[in-house]
Amino acid sequence: MEKIYTSTRNKTIALSGKEAILKGIAEDGGLFVYDGLDTLQLPIQDMMDMSYEEMASIVLKTLLPDFSEEEVIDCVEKAYSEKFSDERITPLHTVGNTHVLELFHGPTCAFKDVGLRMLPQLMSKSLQTHKGRDVMILTATSGDTGKAALEGFLDVDNIGITVFYPDNGVSNIQRLQMVTTEGDNTCVCAIEGNFDDAQSNVKKIFQDKELAERLNACNIQLSSANSINIGRLIPQVVYYIYAYKEMVKKGDIVFGERINFCVPTGNYGNVLAGYYAKMMGLPVHKFIVASNANNVLFDFLKDGVYDRKRPFYKTISPSMDILISSNLERLLYYKSGKDAAYIADLMKQLEEKGAYKVRDDVLERVKADFCGGYCDDKACADAIREFYKETGYVMDPHTAIAYKVMKDYEQKDPTHKSVMLSTASPYKFAPAVYEAIFGHLDMDEFEYMDELQKKTGAKIPTPLKSLKEKAIRHTHQIHKDMMGAFVETTAKEMFHD
Ligand SMILES: *Cc1c(COP(=O)(O)O)cnc(C)c1O
C-alpha cells in the first residue's frame, strides 16, 4: 500500500495509514502527516445532505485510502451507533445568539470520545492486516483522554492500554472515572509530575530502541492513543463539517459563507482537525484558539515565539493545563511548506532550549488561519455565571474559556458567524461550575452534581452519576522516571500471564 504518511521531521520515514495508526508516533519523534493533504478536496456541498455517519465514512476513506469501503463502514458503525446519548453524535445548539457544538455526548462525557471511539476500531482493522502481534497503548492524559481511551480499548482483542495521569493534576471526577475502569487489558497509573512530564516521558518511551527490542522479542509493540496518533485526529475532522451543515440547514448561513470556529485548546488536536477540514475545502474564516492561564499558544500566535519556560498554572480547566502543545508541530509542517528539516530543527530547539521562534513567513501563514485569546479562572467563572443567568445554559469551564475568548473576538470581527466547541459536560467539573454560578458549599463532588442538577435542571449524565457506586481498581502510583520500567512489566504481565 502507498506510504502516504511521513514523519514531520523526516520524509524518508514513510508508512501506510494502517501502519501509521499502529505505530502512533514516528521513531524519530516526529508525528505522521499526510504529505499531500493540501491537494485533497472533500465533496463539501454533497456532504450537506449527509448523516454524521455518512460524512465520517467519506472523511475516513479520503484520509485513509488503505482501508476498504467495508472496513470504513464497519468502523463507523461500531464506533458511533448507540454509543452516544444523542443520536446526532455532536448536536449544534443555538443558545441566544451563540452557536454551541456539543461534543460531549459520548460514553465519558468529553470530546475525546469522538476520536477514541474510532481509534480502537481503526487499530483492530490495522492489526488484521499486520497480523500476529500484541499492541500496548500508552497514553498520557490531562484528564479526559485517559478515560475515553480506556473505554474505547476495553476488552479489544490483542490490545492492552496503560494510562498515565498527573497525580493531583486532574479533577476528582476525572480520576474516579479512570481508576474504576474494569477489564483485564487496562492499567491506570498516577505519576508525580504534571501532564507535560507524562507526555514527554511517553514520547521518550516510544523512542527507546532497546525497550522496543525487548518487547518485540515478546511480540509486543507500543502505540499511542494521544492526539499524536492520526487515527484519533482524523475522526475529529467530521464534526466541523457537520457543524457547518447544521448552520446552513438552520438558515444561519448560506452555503459557501465562511465562518469562525472557537476551540478551547491544549494539545492542538481538536483545532488542528478543523484546519484539516479547511484545507480540504470547508469554508472557514478563522480558527480562534482559546487558552486558559497557560497561554503559551496565545503568545506564539502573537509573535511566533514558542516558549515553554514559564510558570505552569493549575486551573479550573485542567484538560488545557498544557505547555507543550504537540500537534502544533503538524501545523508548522504544513505552514513551513512541508520542510521536515526545518521542523526537526525547531523541535530540537524546543527540547534543548525550551523555546523556538518560527520564520516570519511561517508566522504570517499561521496567522492567516488562526488567532489566539486567553482568559484566567476568574473570567472563566464569570462567563459560566453570566451565560447561565442570561440563557439558562450551563457550560463546563473549558467551554467557558472558548465562550469568553469568542465574545472578545467578536468585538473585533462582527462580520463572520462563529461556532464555539463545547468539549465537556459541566458535570465532569461540577464543583467548579456550581461555585461559579451559586458560590461555594462544603460538599463532595457527587453532592455538587446533585445540587447543580436541582438548581439548573440540567441532567446529570448516567456514566457520571453511576461513578459513585463503583469500586476503585487501579492504585498504581510511581515516579515519572519509572514510567518506562512500569510499561515493560505491565505489558509482559498483561499479554503473557
Ligand atoms: C482535551 C481537552 C481539551 C483540549 O483539546 P486539545 O485537542 O488537546 O487541544 C479541551 N477541553 C476538554 C474538556 C478536553 O478534554
Q: What is the pLDDT of residues 136-183, one digit of tens each?
A: 999 999 889 999 999 999 988 899 999 999 998 898 999 999 999 999
H or E segment at 343? helix 340-353
* Per-residue pLDDT at 413 exceeds 70: yes
- The answer to whether 111 touches 421, Cβ cutoff 8 Å, is yes
Q: How many Å apart are CA 438 and CA 256, to the nearest integer?
A: 42
DSSP code of 425? -
Strand order across the 284-291 sheet: 92-95, 98-102, 418-422, 259-264, 284-291, 370-374
Instruction: Measure 70 CA to ligand 1 centroid, in angstroms.
Output: 31
Instruction: Measure 271 CA to ligand 1 centroid, in angstroms.
Output: 9
Among 105, 199, 320, which residue has the most ligand 1 atoms within 8 Å of its CB, making it the best to mutate?
320
Q: Is 397 a pocket residue for ligand 1 (Cβ < 6 Å)?
A: no
User: Which residues does 105 contact at the CB level (< 8 Å), separation at least 6?
Assistant: 84, 85, 86, 89, 90, 91
* Per-residue pLDDT at 410 exceeds 90: yes
Instruction: Measure 141 CA to ligand 1 centroid, in angstroms.
Output: 10
Instruction: Measure 85 CA to ligand 1 centroid, in angstroms.
Output: 20
- What separation in angstroms does the CA of 202 have from each of 145, 170, 222, 364? 14, 18, 10, 32
Instruction: Measure 423 CA to ligand 1 centroid, in angstroms.
Output: 7
* Numbers of helices and strands, H then E, in the chain: 21, 16
Residue the block writes with cell 440540567: 458
Among residues 366, 337, 201, the alpha carbon closest in space to that of 272 is found at: 366
Mean pLDDT along residues 482-495: 95
Q: Is 425 a pocket residue for ligand 1 (Cβ < 6 Å)?
A: no
Strand order across the 134-140 sheet: 220-224, 134-140, 159-166, 186-192, 476-479
Residue 497: the pLDDT is: 56
Atom of ligand 1 nearest to the CA of 104: 13
If you take atom 8 of ligand 1, which residue's CA is the nearest one?
Answer: 267
Q: Is 424 a pocket residue for ligand 1 (Cβ < 6 Å)?
A: yes
pLDDT band for position 132 (cuts 50, 70, 90): confident
H or E segment at 11? strand 10-15
Task: Express each pLDDT in 246-305 by its tens digit.
Answer: 999 999 999 999 999 999 999 999 999 999 999 999 999 999 999 999 999 999 999 999
Mean pLDDT of the chain: 95
- Helix intervals (H) in 280-336: 296-303, 328-335
Instruction: Measure 398 CA to ligand 1 centroid, in angstroms.
Output: 8
How many CB atoms are closer than 10 A to CB 211? 18
- Which set of grid coordinates corresponds to residue 143? 484528564
Q: How many Å apart are CA 377 and CA 388, to the nearest integer?
A: 17
Instruction: Measure 39 CA to ligand 1 centroid, in angstroms.
Output: 28
Provide the CA 195 distance to its chain's centre, in angstroms: 14
> Half-sphere exposure of 281 toward its Cβ, with a 13 Å CA cutoff?
14
Task: Express each pLDDT in 289-337 by its tens digit.
Answer: 999 999 999 999 999 999 999 999 999 999 999 999 999 999 999 999 9
Q: Is 423 a pocket residue for ligand 1 (Cβ < 6 Å)?
A: yes
Q: Is 144 a pocket residue for ligand 1 (Cβ < 6 Å)?
A: yes
Kindly report the backbone phi and psi dihedral angles of residue 336, in degrees, each rounded to the nearest multiple of 5, phi listed first: -90, 10
Residue 171: the pLDDT is: 87
Instruction: Measure 264 CA to ligand 1 centroid, in angstroms.
Output: 7
Q: Is 318 a pocket residue for ligand 1 (Cβ < 6 Å)?
A: no
Residue the block writes with cell 469562525: 260
* Per-residue pLDDT at 131 exceeds 90: no
Q: Is 321 a pocket residue for ligand 1 (Cβ < 6 Å)?
A: no
Task: Express each pLDDT in 2-57 by its tens digit.
Answer: 899 999 999 999 999 999 999 999 999 999 999 999 999 999 999 999 999 999 99
Q: Is 7 a pocket residue for ligand 1 (Cβ < 6 Å)?
A: no
* Per-residue pLDDT at 1 exceeds 70: no
Q: Which residues pair with 110 in a beta bridge?
A: 424
Q: Is 106 a pocket residue for ligand 1 (Cβ < 6 Å)?
A: no
- Helix intervals (H) in 104-171: 112-129, 144-153
Residue 496: the pLDDT is: 78
Q: Is 98 a pocket residue for ligand 1 (Cβ < 6 Å)?
A: no
Among 240, 327, 398, 422, which residue has the most ligand 1 atoms within 8 Å of its CB, making it the best to mutate?
398
Instruction: Measure 139 CA to ligand 1 centroid, in angstroms.
Output: 14
Atom of ligand 1 nearest to the CA of 265: 9
Q: How many Å apart are CA 76 and CA 86, to the nearest integer?
A: 16
Atom of ligand 1 nearest to the CA of 267: 8
Q: How many Å apart are CA 160 and CA 208, to the nearest integer?
A: 19
Residue 129: the pLDDT is: 78
- The answer to whether 21 touches 122, Cβ cutoff 8 Å, is yes
Residue 25: the pLDDT is: 92
pTM: 0.95
- The answer to whether 111 touches 460, Cβ cutoff 8 Å, is no
Report the greatest alpha carbon distance in the chain. 62
Q: How many Å apart are CA 16 and CA 2, to the nearest integer?
A: 6
Q: Which residues pair with 264 in a beta bridge?
A: 290
- Which set of grid coordinates corresponds to residue 391? 440563557
